Structure 1
Amino acid sequence: MNENWKIFKQYAPWLALLLCVDGLSSILLWLADIQSFYALMGFIILATLLLFSVVFVVVCNHEHKKRQAFESFLSSPDDINEKSLLKLCSDAEKEMILLLGRVLREKNDSIEQLLTRVLDYEEYVEAWAHETKTPLSLLTMLLDNRRDELPENFAFKLDYIRNRMQEFISQMLFYSRLKGTQKDYLFEFINLHTCIGEVLDDYLPLLEEKRFQIKMQVPDIFVYSDRRGLAFLISQVISNSIKYSSDTCPQLCIKAVRTDFNFVLSVSDNGIGVRSCDLPYIFEKGFTGDSGDGRKKATGMGLYLAKEIAKDLNILLNVESEWGKGFTMKILFPIVDDSRT
């Protein structure tokens, strides 16, 4: 209906012109023969309106067909759709359609080439990361089996290097996964206590080295999520707590509760925290803030990736922090009906 009204407004001047011609003809007829004027005036106006209505219906059908052909041409600017559109266009429009078709086909070819390059890059990054995991696994096995034979400081440095490499590789894999054309998430019910315990085991050497006091109050809550994505999200929060921990008596408090609408997992530390002016930007890509020398060496990718993963997993993230008094991340999971919950 709106399209017909637009077409009517486009051709309304022609109707006005016809009515003006009718008016002029009526005046001349009235001057020539007033009896004929009274006899023919109604017929002239009715014929004009009928003629305009017939032409208007024909024009509307033609415009609708042209619009449909144009939409098909835009979605797929191949030769078939182009020829179908050209049949409905005027000579002046045909030149523009031919130019538009050539430009669109060139753009589509460029996009296809870029997509191919992106897919190749994704495959290379994933293959490289998976290949790199092999020497990391060997390093982990060496540390586990020969830790007693290594000097304590040396073993800690190797643990730190291994942990950082593993974290960077995981970040790279998840960044590639987030920006990729396909996301292979597998949603299932996950025991939150078990998932957090596995993440803490990965960071155990660093937590022990920095003498963290860990308080964990997480009952057997089952959340519906992707296991790898959730573990990565939690690992980024814990990693931040370790990086920016307090120099004396560092603490990590992890607890989970159920509210009316969500499961809420809180991860709190007593580290340096975040300045209030930086707090709104901590999830932005590459943002490190101005919170000491530690953040100058940061990449600003951890919390950004955590936020992006949370979006995909339908998880909400809320942060609370006071400069010099710690940092709290609240992870809100939607409640999904399940007998275990």
Structure 2
Amino acid sequence: MLIIFLRERLAWIAFYVFIIVIINVLFSLDAGLEGISILYMNVSMVISFMIFLIWRYVVEVRQLKDFLGNVESQLDDVHSKSLALSPFQTAYLTKIEDVFYDKNTELNQAKVQLQEYSDELLAWVHEVKAPLTSINLMLDHIDDLTLRRKLENEWLRLHLLVDQQLHQTRLASIEKDNFMTEIELRTVVYKEIRAMQAWCIEKGIGFDVAELTEAVMTDGKWLAFIIRQILSNAIKYSPANSEVLIFTEIDATGATLLHIKDAGIGIRKEDLPRIFHKSYTGTAGRESAQSTGMGLYLAHNVAQKIGVRITVQSSVGEGSIFTLRFPLQNEYVKLTGR
């Protein structure tokens, strides 16, 4: 703090040294001042200046600490006479208050616009879901099995895109929209497999599912969304007439792991660190018009919010294994206590 103070008052010190030099020159040139001790004069002036600097240092450092430590309270009462501020500090605070007011106004306007956009988007998604449900019911009345399978497949893709947009819009307020409870993994996994039945039939994709008797503490709706994104990727990038393996295990810490293994094209080594980034489609995604780069990004963000950790192992041509690690009891307590 002392160094800062001296640097701030460097002009004072330089001006004082200049005055001392001038006075010493005058004493040396003016014969009428021969009887006055130059040393006495210099010592007196230096001591006086040092006392002045020390006094200003104590006063200004105290003001600076008050200023920095109570900016918010002072901003609320910048014109109050009870504040021990210098005229310059008062001017600074007034300007800061103006800037804060303008920025807060802009921020509030942006928040209102974002909330309005989010509400409109949610309303649109819910409006779209109604005709999608009706179309799904109509598909059962189509006699041509081949045509019906194709339409069901296209309906499923559209449904997944709308569902993805719905959860993306809700992601910002996930803390207000989750309910942690004990969920049986079998129930969630089988429900998501059945939902993708049309797509699996079209590609000849089968599932080899273990017993999945484990129950985990999580949010069922958001867990279903995560599994849906991973399964859709597994089906999308797996070759025809292949299998997706789903099984669980308990790791060394006692946590439940859910593995989803496909026999797809795999993920390049250079793509692995970035597959959870927003809009990143990777090498394989660039070759597919269906890839948006949002599915794994949303799944990863949702997983972080509910305490699930997603990891992936993959190599080109050998498929991928996505693993969901569910939190232990003590980790779950920390999560709900945040």
TM-score, structure 2 normalization: 0.77
Which of 142, 150, 169 is the equivalent residue of 2:162?
Answer: 169
| Corresponding residue number in structure 1 for 2:127 | 131
Name which of structure 1's ranges 191-200 and 6-15 shifts more when overlaid on structure 2: 6-15
- Give the CA deviation at 1:64: 2.2
| Corresponding residue number in structure 1 for 2:59 | 58
Distance 2:118 2:12 in 1: 59
Q: 1:171 to 1:212 in 2, by over 3 A?
A: same
User: What is the one-letter code of the residue matched to 1:123?
Assistant: D
Name which of structure 1's ranges 323-332 and 98-107 shifts more when overlaid on structure 2: 98-107
Distance 1:300 1:166 in 2: 17
Residue 101 (str. 1) matches residue 97 (str. 2):
yes
User: What is the one-letter code of the residue matched to 2:131?
Assistant: P
CA contact (8 A) 1:254 1:267 kept: yes
User: What is the one-letter code of the residue matched to 2:316?
Assistant: W
Match runs of 1:80-95 below 5 Å: 80-81=77-78, 87-90=85-88, 94=91
CA contact (8 A) 2:205 2:244 kept: yes
| Corresponding residue number in structure 2 for 1:223 | 216
- Deviations 1:28-52 (Å, cap 9, x if unpaired)? xxx9999xx9xxxxxx999998876
- Give the CA deviation at 1:168: 0.9
Distance 2:193 2:124 in 1: 26
| Corresponding residue number in structure 2 for 1:26 | none
Q: 1:292 to 1:299 in 2, by over 3 A?
A: closer
- Give the CA deviation at 1:237: 0.5
Where structure 1 has 5 or more consecutive residues not aligned to the other structure, the ranges are: 22-30, 38-43
Distance 1:82 1:203 in 2: 66
Which of 138, 141, 145 is the equivalent residue of 1:142?
Answer: 138
User: What is the one-letter code of the residue matched to 1:250?
Assistant: S
Q: Give the fraction of aligned pairs with identical amino acids, expressed as a percent.
A: 26
| Corresponding residue number in structure 2 for 1:116 | 112
Distance 1:172 1:254 in 2: 26
CA contact (8 A) 2:153 2:202 kept: no
Distance 1:12 1:218 in 2: 78
- Deviations 1:194-221 (Å, cap 9, x if unpaired)? 1111111211222233222211114322
- Deviations 1:272-307 (Å, cap 9, x if unpaired)? 222333223222222222227752431111111111
CA contact (8 A) 2:234 2:262 kept: yes
CA contact (8 A) 1:269 1:326 kept: yes
Distance 2:286 2:47 in 1: 87
Q: 1:167 to 1:56 in 2, by over 3 A?
A: same
Task: Give secondary structure in 1 for the equivalent of 2:283.
Answer: coil
Task: Give secondary structure in 2 for the equivalent of 1:197.
Answer: helix
CA contact (8 A) 2:276 2:300 kept: yes
Q: 1:10 to 1:183 in 2, by over 3 A?
A: same
CA contact (8 A) 1:288 1:296 kept: no
| Corresponding residue number in structure 1 for 2:307 | 314
CA contact (8 A) 1:177 1:183 kept: no
Task: Give secondary structure in 1 for the equivalent of 2:282.
Answer: coil
Distance 2:174 2:328 in 1: 29
Distance 1:314 1:266 in 2: 17
Which of 248, 262, 268 is the equivalent residue of 1:269?
Answer: 262
Residue 239 (str. 1) matches residue 240 (str. 2):
no
- Give the CA deviation at 1:70: 3.0
Task: Give secondary structure in 1 for the equivalent of 2:249.
Answer: strand
Distance 2:106 2:84 in 1: 25
Distance 1:122 1:213 in 2: 38
CA contact (8 A) 1:243 1:294 kept: no
Q: CA RMSD for the aligned pairs? A: 4.0
- Give the CA deviation at 1:9: 7.7
Distance 1:309 1:176 in 2: 12
Residue 194 (str. 1) matches residue 195 (str. 2):
no
Task: Give secondary structure in 2 for the equivalent of 1:274.
Answer: coil
Distance 1:61 1:337 in 2: 46
**Moved runs in structure 1, 4+ residues, more than 4 A?**
4-18, 31-34, 44-56, 82-87, 180-183
User: What is the one-letter code of the residue matched to 1:122?
Assistant: S
Match runs of 1:285-300 below 5 Å: 285-291=278-284, 295-300=288-293
| Corresponding residue number in structure 2 for 1:256 | 248
TM-score, structure 1 normalization: 0.76
Task: Give secondary structure in 1 for the equivalent of 2:68.
Answer: helix
